[in-house]
Every structure is written in structure tokens, then in C-alpha cells.
Amino acid sequence: MLKKHLIGGAIAAALSFSALADYTFRVPAGVGFSPENIVESAPEGLHSISCGHLHCYGLKSGSIWSVGRNQYGQLGRNGATNTSQSTWGDTGQPADSVIAGDEHGYALHNGTIWSVGRNQYGQLGRNGTTTQTTWGDTGQPANSVSAGAHHGYALHNGTIWSVGFNGYGQLGRNGTTQQTTWGDTGQPADSVSAGGNHGYALHNGTIWSVGRNQYGQLGRNGTTTQTTWGNTGQPANSVSAGGNHGYALSGDTIWSVGYNGFGQLGRNGTTQQTTWGDTGQPADSVSAGVYHGYALHNGTIWSVGHNGFGQLGRNGTAQQTTWGNTGQPADSVSAGAYYGYALSGDTIWSVGYNGYGQLGLGDQTSRSTFTEVTISE
């Protein structure tokens, strides 16, 4: 049965993005992306796929599997770096859940957060800034965790905890000093979603936001950066943070806000929006990438926004400013940077940019239609 929530938003999966100030479009150098995005599957196969910037994680038989870019050892495959992987492989790290950030990752194992990958801003939460190529225990207890570009959020004892890059106050600690250990923001929340350099939370049925706001992505009717969590007043069932934009489900339709240069807000134009607005698109779930988005409606994937690598799955590369049906059946869908994954029954599908093999298809050729992924036993 389809879950009526944003993929990862209500369950605090991972959205990931680059902490670059303007998200300059530069795939080979590596921005970040999407955002709390988890594809769930049957427990016996690869499941709970989380799309990061240019790498992915999944769970199989209680262990983390990974694929894609590995510049900072973010795949967690026993210390190897700078070697991309185009097929899924077992890291050997036990986990209950796993979340991909821009060039790092988090996992929950035995009630605490584990981390791996790039650590320039202390985003791994290991009390330092040394990159780590193997998974390690941060010692931070948590119920759920969400990875942004170079920062992270966790829920622990009903409040949001944060760590990492803080140049826009996205940690919600009333300042802009980066933090290398997890700290309590004091903000109560039911769920939390980390975007590029901003964040959303749900508390008492409305969206709260913090961080960078150049494009109005905080939904507070302005463009002033905010270093403390504040109530947008927007009712929602769930919320998902993208690169510099966001989606929410309010009632049965998708609402959107923020940067709209590629039409990713799905409002039939490219004008940025500083307040949440109804797209009119019915959906059961929605997932935000850097400049694009996916939704599930009546059992198929709908998509919108940037499409330079065919990531919309509409068999072409023209950007789209309104939601359109790809025709791809799916039970769940997850947006990465310029690519995505979907689950249909027990079958995994991927689409879009594949320069680092992140589609898991054994090559580095991009796809403009969803293509079946084979996972080795």
C-alpha cells in the first residue's frame, strides 16, 4: 500500500545537496542532492534505497550496500577512495536504516548514528574534520536522521539535533558557527528534512524552517536567512527539502516553494516563490531532488523540473514546468541529484545522470527512461 507522505520526509530519510552558495550546475565536480529520499522494498532484496548527490545506499540482509561516486570514501567499502562503482556492493556495515548526503552518509545501528565520507565541515559528527572512509559510530542516540549537503539533522527525545556546515544558520543553533558534534537545537518536531543549506520540520501539523533563504525556500514570505527555527504557518502532512526549494503534501495535493529556475515547483512557470502554493497536482508521496522532483499518483511516477540528463523519465531532455506522468509504475520513488530510483513490486529501476555509475547498471551511460537494475546475490 502506498504511504501518504513524502518519501523520507515523514520518516527522516535523506536529501542531499551541495553546500555551494548557489548550487552552480556542475555535475562532474559534484554538487549535491536529494533530498530524504528512500525507496522501500521487500526485506529479502535490496531495499530502503537512499539517493545522495552522486552515490546511493541501500539495505540488504541487514547490511549497507552502496554504488556510485566515491571521491571521499562515501561508499564505505573498506577505505577505497576515488574509485566509482557502477554496480551495487556490500559494505559489510550492519544497519537498521541508511541515509545519503552530498558526499557523506548516516546510518542508524543499535540506536546510534554512524557516519562515513567527506567531513570538511564536521558533518560526520565525530568531533573533527577528517574524512572517513569506513563507517564509524558517532555515539549520538537518535530515532531518525536526515542528511543535507554538508549538514545533518536527527530526532532524539522529541527535539531536533544538528551537526556540520552552518554558514547560513541551517543548524538552527542561533548562529553560523560550524559544529563537529551533534547538539540539541531545542526545537520540538515530529519529522525533519535537510535540504541544500536549509531545513524543514513538522511540528503540530505545520511546517517550520531554518537556514538559507535567498530564493524564499523557507516559505516565510521573504528572502532573509534565518538561524533559528520558525513557523511558516503552512499546514502539511509531510515535507521534503530540495536543493533550494521544497515540496509538501497538504491535503491530497503537492505544495511548493523556493527556487524555480527549471520549473521544479510545478507551477507552470519559472518564477521563484517565497510562500507555499498549491500546484494542484494530486499525489500520494513526493520527493525533491536538486532541480527536479518525483511524485506518486495512482501507482505511477510523475515528474517535473530540470531534465538535462533525462532524469524526469519522459524519454527526452526538455525541462518541464508542470507535473507529467512518466507512465512508470512504482510503489515508491526517490530523487537524487540529477537521477532517481524507483521500486515497482520487487524490481528496482533507475533513470537520469550516470557519470559515476550511480544508476547501478554496470556502466556510466545516462538514461532518459527508467531502466531495470539487477542486484547480484
Report DSSP letters for 15-75, one per residue. Answer: -----STT----TTT-----TT-EE---TTSSEEEEE-SSEEEEEETTEEEEEE--TTSTT
User: Is 1 inside a domain boundary?
Assistant: no
**How many domains is the chain built from?**
1
User: Is 27 inside a domain boundary?
Assistant: no
pLDDT value, residue 133: 95
User: Is 11 inside a domain boundary?
Assistant: no
**pLDDT higher than threshold 60 for residue 80:** yes
Angle at 106 between CA 308 and CA 20, to 5 degrees: 45
Domain that holds residue 157: 38-373
Residue 40 pLDDT grade (very low, low, confident, very high; cuts 50, 70, 90): low
Three-state secondary structure call for residue 90:
strand
**pLDDT higher than threshold 90 for residue 81:** no
Question: Which stretches of 61-167 are assigned E, i.e. beta strand?
Answer: 63-68, 85-94, 97-100, 104-109, 112-117, 132-141, 144-147, 151-156, 159-164
Q: What is the mean pLDDT of residues 108-134?
A: 97
Distance CA 37, CA 49 (A): 8
Distance CA 59, CA 40 (A): 9
Model-level pTM greater than 0.85? yes
Assign residue 323 the CATH number of its domain.
2.130.10.30
Pairing of strands 63-68, 55-60: antiparallel
Q: Which of 118, 211, 234 is nearest to 162 (CA)?
A: 211
Distance CA 147, CA 125 (A): 12
pLDDT value, residue 168: 98
pLDDT value, residue 41: 55
User: Is 13 inside a domain boundary?
Assistant: no
Q: What is the mean pLDDT of residues 250-258?
A: 97
Question: Which pLDDT tens digit goes with each residue over 292-348?
Answer: 999 999 999 999 999 999 999 999 999 999 999 999 999 999 999 999 999 998 899
User: Is 178 inside a domain boundary?
Assistant: yes
User: Is 197 inside a domain boundary?
Assistant: yes
Burial of residue 8, with CB atoms counted within 10 A of its CB: 0-12 exposed, 13-18 middle, 19 or more buried? buried
Question: Which pLDDT tens digit goes with each residue over 214-228?
Answer: 999 999 999 999 999
Question: Which pLDDT tens digit goes with each residue over 147-204?
Answer: 999 999 999 999 999 999 999 999 999 999 999 999 999 999 999 999 999 999 999 9
Q: State the number of CA atoms in the 13 A half-sphere of 184 facing the CB.
A: 8
Mean pLDDT over all residues of the chain?
90
Residue 20 pLDDT grade (very low, low, confident, very high; cuts 50, 70, 90): very low
Question: Which pLDDT tens digit goes with each residue over 265-307?
Answer: 999 999 999 999 999 999 999 999 999 999 999 999 999 999 9
User: Is 17 inside a domain boundary?
Assistant: no
User: Is 31 inside a domain boundary?
Assistant: no
pLDDT value, residue 376: 81
Q: State the number of CA atoms in the 13 A half-sphere of 327 facing the CB.
A: 5
